[in-house]
Amino acid sequence: MQVVKEVGNSSFFKDEFVRLNSRDCKLLLEFSEEHFSYSILQISTNEVLYTAVSNVVLNWFQATESQLTDIFNKEEVFNFKFGEVVILTDTIYSTLVPKVFFDQNKINTYLNTNMYLSKVALKYLSFELADLEYQYLYILPDTLYSFLEKNFLSISFRATESELLNFLNRKNVAIQYVNVHITYTKLHFCYFEDKKLKFSNTFSYQSNEDLLYNILNIYKQLGLNTEKVILNLSGIIIKQSEIYELLYKYIKFINFQKRPLKLNYSKSLKEMPEHYFMHHYAALL
């Protein structure tokens, strides 16, 4: 699958960003198991200036404090002090709990951590999905959580899936609404029916065939007609790709999502397909 690695000028920090007041900027960092990406929003102009994917390959969920320190010392984006920092986590270690059943005192019982490394100290996080009747829960390694809190001021923690759900819930107008968000190793599948969230889950995949199987299997399990229900796509997929061609053989209507209209975008970002990093920009609203 072809994916975007960087958008904009590779000398952005030397040529452009040094002339700006970094305190007037919001930094969004997204961590997955092996990648991190980031976007920078200038608060005063409401403009997203830059988006990039780091070349650093590290299992962030198993990283030691010394490994994190070494990377933060080398990555240029961390040389600046930002007014606000948003941390997004792209993880399969999450769940939704109906608000009526949620008990903060039992937060560590909702997630099955047996599949996680038992020797890793965990931080349990939860927050209410604004317009949905669910509480979103997920976990972070305590080492990563503590490191980020120590190194950034005005920091907030969120999750990729939750930001997608909030954003898609606000724009959903269809009786049957499907969105699949594709990352390097995972797909987030959500389904709204009559403007109510009916299904949301995250799946790992290793090949295009895995991805196709998961999507078609969920369509089948939910009783969705592949000849009628539109598949909305966001993330790193492009139209000129093998996976798109595979999907189009089985699903008649495919649509690419649009980035949020309430933000301004730099010239270089306007040249990027609108469905790339949609979740970054939704989280920056």
Q: What is the pLDDT of residues 249-280, one digit of tens each?
A: 999 999 999 999 999 999 989 999 999 999 99
Q: How far apart are CA 243 and CA 61, in angstroms?
A: 28
pTM over 0.85: yes
Residues 6 or more apart in contact with residue 260 via CB below 8 angstroms: 167, 278, 281, 282, 285
Question: What are the backbone dihedrals phi and psi of residue 107, each rounded to the nearest 5 degrees, phi first?
Answer: -60, -35
Contacts of residues 272-278 at CB distance under 8 Å and 24 or more positions apart, as own/partner, are: 272/4, 272/7, 272/51, 273/238, 275/233, 275/234, 275/235, 275/237, 276/4, 276/7, 276/51, 276/235, 276/236, 277/7, 277/37, 277/39, 277/51, 278/164, 278/167, 278/181, 278/234, 278/235
What is the secondary structure of 99-148 as a DSSP string? GGG--GGGHHHHS-GGGS-TTS-EEEEEEE-TTSSEEEEEEEEHHHHHHH
What confidence score (pLDDT) does residue 44 get? Answer: 97
Q: Per-residue pLDDT for 18 more than 50?
A: yes
Q: What is the pLDDT of residues 136-192, one digit of tens each?
A: 999 888 999 999 999 998 999 999 999 999 999 988 777 899 999 998 889 999 999
pLDDT-derived band at 68 (thresholds 50, 70, 90) equals: very high
- The H or E element spanning position 68 is helix 65-74
Q: How many Å is the Cα radius of gyration of the chain? A: 19
